[in-house]
Homo-oligomer: A and B are copies of this chain.
Amino acid sequence: MVELGVVYRNIQRADRDVAARLGTFGTATVHEAMGRIGLLKPYMRPIYADAQISGTAVTVLLHPGDNWMLHVVAEQIRPGDIVVAAVTADCTDGYFGELLATSFKARGAQGLVIDGGVRDVRALTEMKFPVWSKAISAKGTVKTTLGSVNIPVVCAGALVTPGDVIVADDDGVVVVPAALAQKTLEAAAARDANEGEKRKKLAAGVLGLDMYNMREPLQKAGLKYID
Protein backbone atom coordinates (compact mmCIF):
# COMPACT_ATOMS: atom_id res chain seq x y z
CA MET A 1 0.00 0.00 0.00
CA VAL A 2 1.67 3.16 -1.17
CA GLU A 3 1.89 6.06 1.29
CA LEU A 4 3.26 9.42 0.28
CA GLY A 5 5.28 11.74 2.48
CA VAL A 6 6.61 9.16 4.89
CA VAL A 7 10.05 7.91 5.83
CA TYR A 8 10.36 4.62 7.64
CA ARG A 9 13.51 4.73 9.68
CA ASN A 10 13.51 1.19 11.03
CA ILE A 11 13.38 -1.54 8.49
CA GLN A 12 14.08 -5.21 8.85
CA ARG A 13 17.08 -5.93 6.67
CA ALA A 14 17.78 -9.41 5.36
CA ASP A 15 20.82 -11.04 6.88
CA ARG A 16 23.87 -9.23 5.54
CA ASP A 17 25.94 -12.36 5.14
CA VAL A 18 23.20 -14.14 3.23
CA ALA A 19 22.87 -11.11 0.99
CA ALA A 20 26.59 -11.11 0.30
CA ARG A 21 26.68 -14.80 -0.51
CA LEU A 22 23.67 -14.53 -2.83
CA GLY A 23 25.66 -12.02 -4.82
CA THR A 24 28.36 -14.53 -5.61
CA PHE A 25 25.92 -16.57 -7.70
CA GLY A 26 24.75 -13.78 -9.97
CA THR A 27 21.28 -12.80 -11.12
CA ALA A 28 20.71 -15.72 -13.49
CA THR A 29 21.28 -18.38 -10.85
CA VAL A 30 19.46 -16.51 -8.10
CA HIS A 31 16.26 -15.91 -10.04
CA GLU A 32 16.28 -19.54 -11.21
CA ALA A 33 16.62 -20.61 -7.59
CA MET A 34 13.44 -18.66 -6.84
CA GLY A 35 11.51 -20.32 -9.67
CA ARG A 36 12.44 -17.92 -12.47
CA ILE A 37 10.93 -14.86 -10.84
CA GLY A 38 12.03 -11.64 -9.19
CA LEU A 39 13.85 -10.05 -12.11
CA LEU A 40 13.54 -6.39 -12.94
CA LYS A 41 12.78 -5.65 -16.60
CA PRO A 42 15.76 -6.15 -18.92
CA TYR A 43 15.79 -2.46 -19.85
CA MET A 44 17.64 -1.94 -16.58
CA ARG A 45 21.28 -1.77 -17.66
CA PRO A 46 24.50 -1.12 -15.73
CA ILE A 47 26.31 2.10 -16.58
CA TYR A 48 29.59 0.20 -16.82
CA ALA A 49 30.52 -3.44 -17.39
CA ASP A 50 31.67 -5.98 -14.80
CA ALA A 51 29.93 -4.44 -11.77
CA GLN A 52 28.50 -7.12 -9.52
CA ILE A 53 26.93 -6.24 -6.18
CA SER A 54 24.46 -7.58 -3.65
CA GLY A 55 23.00 -6.02 -0.56
CA THR A 56 19.86 -4.99 1.26
CA ALA A 57 17.34 -2.62 -0.27
CA VAL A 58 16.45 0.79 1.03
CA THR A 59 13.69 2.07 -1.19
CA VAL A 60 12.57 5.47 -2.36
CA LEU A 61 9.61 6.61 -4.40
CA LEU A 62 10.16 9.67 -6.61
CA HIS A 63 7.92 11.79 -8.78
CA PRO A 64 8.81 12.32 -12.47
CA GLY A 65 11.51 14.94 -12.84
CA ASP A 66 11.89 15.37 -9.08
CA ASN A 67 14.81 13.97 -7.07
CA TRP A 68 14.12 15.58 -3.70
CA MET A 69 13.64 12.25 -1.94
CA LEU A 70 17.06 10.98 -2.98
CA HIS A 71 18.46 13.39 -0.43
CA VAL A 72 16.03 12.05 2.14
CA VAL A 73 16.90 8.43 1.48
CA ALA A 74 20.63 9.16 1.84
CA GLU A 75 20.19 9.52 5.58
CA GLN A 76 18.59 6.07 5.83
CA ILE A 77 21.43 4.23 4.12
CA ARG A 78 23.48 1.82 6.21
CA PRO A 79 26.70 0.18 5.05
CA GLY A 80 25.95 -2.61 2.58
CA ASP A 81 22.64 -1.18 1.43
CA ILE A 82 21.60 -0.74 -2.19
CA VAL A 83 19.21 2.11 -2.94
CA VAL A 84 16.22 1.14 -5.08
CA ALA A 85 14.44 4.12 -6.63
CA ALA A 86 11.04 3.94 -8.27
CA VAL A 87 9.22 6.78 -10.03
CA THR A 88 5.44 7.30 -10.11
CA ALA A 89 5.48 7.74 -13.90
CA ASP A 90 7.96 7.04 -16.69
CA CYS A 91 10.55 9.80 -17.00
CA THR A 92 14.15 9.39 -18.09
CA ASP A 93 15.51 12.54 -16.44
CA GLY A 94 18.88 12.28 -14.73
CA TYR A 95 17.83 12.10 -11.07
CA PHE A 96 21.23 11.06 -9.80
CA GLY A 97 24.81 12.12 -10.41
CA GLU A 98 28.25 12.52 -8.95
CA LEU A 99 27.37 14.56 -5.85
CA LEU A 100 24.64 12.22 -4.68
CA ALA A 101 26.89 9.28 -5.44
CA THR A 102 29.57 10.80 -3.24
CA SER A 103 27.04 11.11 -0.46
CA PHE A 104 25.57 7.63 -0.93
CA LYS A 105 29.06 6.13 -0.97
CA ALA A 106 30.02 7.99 2.19
CA ARG A 107 26.96 6.45 3.86
CA GLY A 108 28.05 2.99 2.80
CA ALA A 109 25.76 2.33 -0.15
CA GLN A 110 27.01 -0.21 -2.65
CA GLY A 111 25.10 1.09 -5.61
CA LEU A 112 21.83 2.38 -6.99
CA VAL A 113 19.03 0.74 -8.95
CA ILE A 114 16.78 3.41 -10.49
CA ASP A 115 13.82 3.14 -12.84
CA GLY A 116 14.78 6.43 -14.44
CA GLY A 117 17.84 8.26 -15.70
CA VAL A 118 21.29 8.87 -14.28
CA ARG A 119 24.03 11.37 -15.22
CA ASP A 120 27.75 11.96 -14.65
CA VAL A 121 28.33 8.39 -15.77
CA ARG A 122 31.99 9.05 -16.42
CA ALA A 123 32.56 10.26 -12.87
CA LEU A 124 30.47 7.42 -11.45
CA THR A 125 32.55 4.95 -13.42
CA GLU A 126 35.73 6.44 -12.09
CA MET A 127 34.35 6.38 -8.53
CA LYS A 128 33.31 2.76 -9.09
CA PHE A 129 29.81 3.53 -7.89
CA PRO A 130 27.64 1.21 -9.98
CA VAL A 131 24.17 2.18 -11.14
CA TRP A 132 21.57 0.14 -12.98
CA SER A 133 19.18 2.46 -14.75
CA LYS A 134 16.73 2.70 -17.58
CA ALA A 135 18.43 5.66 -19.21
CA ILE A 136 21.44 7.93 -19.16
CA SER A 137 20.43 11.57 -19.31
CA ALA A 138 22.05 14.86 -18.33
CA LYS A 139 18.59 16.34 -17.66
CA GLY A 140 18.39 17.83 -14.19
CA THR A 141 15.43 17.59 -11.85
CA VAL A 142 13.52 19.76 -9.38
CA LYS A 143 13.01 19.33 -5.65
CA THR A 144 9.37 20.14 -5.00
CA THR A 145 7.19 17.10 -4.36
CA LEU A 146 7.26 14.57 -1.55
CA GLY A 147 7.56 10.88 -2.26
CA SER A 148 8.42 8.32 0.40
CA VAL A 149 11.33 6.34 1.78
CA ASN A 150 11.33 2.67 2.76
CA ILE A 151 7.87 1.80 1.58
CA PRO A 152 7.32 -1.13 -0.78
CA VAL A 153 7.85 0.08 -4.36
CA VAL A 154 7.47 -1.32 -7.85
CA CYS A 155 10.76 -0.77 -9.64
CA ALA A 156 11.05 -1.77 -13.30
CA GLY A 157 8.21 -4.22 -12.92
CA ALA A 158 9.30 -5.87 -9.66
CA LEU A 159 7.99 -5.37 -6.14
CA VAL A 160 10.81 -4.38 -3.79
CA THR A 161 10.16 -4.28 -0.04
CA PRO A 162 12.66 -2.47 2.17
CA GLY A 163 15.21 -4.93 3.47
CA ASP A 164 14.91 -7.33 0.55
CA VAL A 165 18.10 -8.61 -1.01
CA ILE A 166 19.13 -7.05 -4.31
CA VAL A 167 21.58 -8.83 -6.61
CA ALA A 168 22.80 -6.93 -9.66
CA ASP A 169 25.32 -7.74 -12.37
CA ASP A 170 25.86 -7.47 -16.13
CA ASP A 171 22.73 -9.55 -16.76
CA GLY A 172 20.40 -7.28 -14.79
CA VAL A 173 18.86 -7.00 -11.35
CA VAL A 174 16.96 -9.48 -9.19
CA VAL A 175 15.13 -8.95 -5.90
CA VAL A 176 14.91 -11.68 -3.25
CA PRO A 177 12.30 -11.11 -0.52
CA ALA A 178 14.04 -11.07 2.86
CA ALA A 179 11.96 -14.01 4.08
CA LEU A 180 13.14 -16.12 1.15
CA ALA A 181 16.78 -15.11 1.26
CA GLN A 182 18.15 -18.07 3.22
CA LYS A 183 16.13 -20.62 1.27
CA THR A 184 17.07 -19.02 -2.01
CA LEU A 185 20.71 -19.05 -1.04
CA GLU A 186 20.54 -22.77 -0.44
CA ALA A 187 18.73 -23.40 -3.71
CA ALA A 188 21.23 -21.24 -5.58
CA ALA A 189 24.15 -23.05 -3.99
CA ALA A 190 22.63 -26.41 -4.88
CA ARG A 191 22.04 -25.25 -8.42
CA ASP A 192 25.54 -23.93 -8.68
CA ALA A 193 27.19 -26.99 -7.15
CA ASN A 194 27.20 -29.16 -10.22
CA GLU A 195 27.62 -26.43 -12.79
CA GLY A 196 31.38 -26.98 -12.86
CA GLU A 197 30.85 -30.65 -13.59
CA LYS A 198 28.40 -29.87 -16.35
CA ARG A 199 30.66 -27.26 -17.86
CA LYS A 200 33.49 -29.74 -17.99
CA LYS A 201 31.37 -32.34 -19.77
CA LEU A 202 29.99 -29.86 -22.27
CA ALA A 203 33.46 -28.50 -22.95
CA ALA A 204 34.53 -32.07 -23.68
CA GLY A 205 31.88 -32.31 -26.36
CA VAL A 206 29.15 -34.13 -24.45
CA LEU A 207 25.81 -32.86 -25.71
CA GLY A 208 23.12 -31.41 -23.47
CA LEU A 209 20.81 -33.79 -25.33
CA ASP A 210 22.60 -36.65 -23.63
CA MET A 211 23.69 -35.03 -20.38
CA TYR A 212 20.11 -33.94 -19.61
CA ASN A 213 18.48 -37.07 -21.14
CA MET A 214 16.46 -35.03 -23.57
CA ARG A 215 16.37 -37.44 -26.49
CA GLU A 216 13.45 -39.45 -25.23
CA PRO A 217 11.16 -36.55 -24.30
CA LEU A 218 11.99 -34.88 -27.63
CA GLN A 219 11.04 -38.02 -29.50
CA LYS A 220 7.85 -38.35 -27.48
CA ALA A 221 7.02 -34.75 -28.31
CA GLY A 222 7.29 -35.80 -31.96
CA LEU A 223 10.66 -34.44 -33.07
CA LYS A 224 11.69 -35.87 -36.44
CA TYR A 225 15.17 -36.02 -37.90
CA ILE A 226 15.43 -35.76 -41.67
CA ASP A 227 18.55 -36.69 -43.59
Q: Is A17 an interface residue (CB 8 A)?
A: no
Complex Cα distance A157/B40, Å?
A: 11
Chain B residues near A143: list those with CB within 8 A. 214
Interface size on A, residues (CB 8 A): 102
Chain B residues near A98: list those with CB within 8 A. 199
Chain B residues near A103: list those with CB within 8 A. 202-203, 206-208
A159 contacts which of B66, B88, B152, B169 (Cβ < 8 Å)?
B152
Q: Is A111 an interface residue (CB 8 A)?
A: no
Instruction: Report A189-215 CB contacts with B as 1/0, cut-off 8 Å.
Output: 000000100110011111111001010
Complex Cα distance A145/B117, Å?
A: 20
Question: Are A37 and B88 in contact, with the CB atoms below 8 A?
Answer: yes
Once A72-B209, A100-B208, A223-B72 are accepted as A-B contacts, the answer to whether A122 and B169 lie under 8 Å apart by CB is yes
Complex Cα distance A72/B100, Å?
A: 34
Question: Are B7 and A226 in contact, with the CB atoms below 8 A?
Answer: yes
Q: Could you show 29 A-B contacts with beta carbons less than 8 Å apart?
A: A2-B35, A5-B221, A5-B224, A6-B224, A9-B227, A28-B94, A28-B119, A28-B138, A37-B88, A39-B139, A42-B136, A45-B136, A64-B64, A64-B65, A65-B65, A65-B66, A65-B91, A71-B212, A90-B91, A90-B92, A99-B198, A102-B202, A102-B203, A103-B203, A103-B206, A122-B169, A122-B170, A136-B171, A154-B157
Binding site for B on A (CB under 8 A): 1-2, 4-10, 26-28, 31-32, 34-39, 41-42, 45, 49-50, 52, 63-66, 68, 71-72, 74-75, 88-94, 97-100, 102-103, 105-107, 117, 119-122, 125, 135-140, 142-146, 152, 154, 157-159, 169-172, 174, 177, 179-180, 195, 198-199, 202-209, 212, 214, 218, 221-227
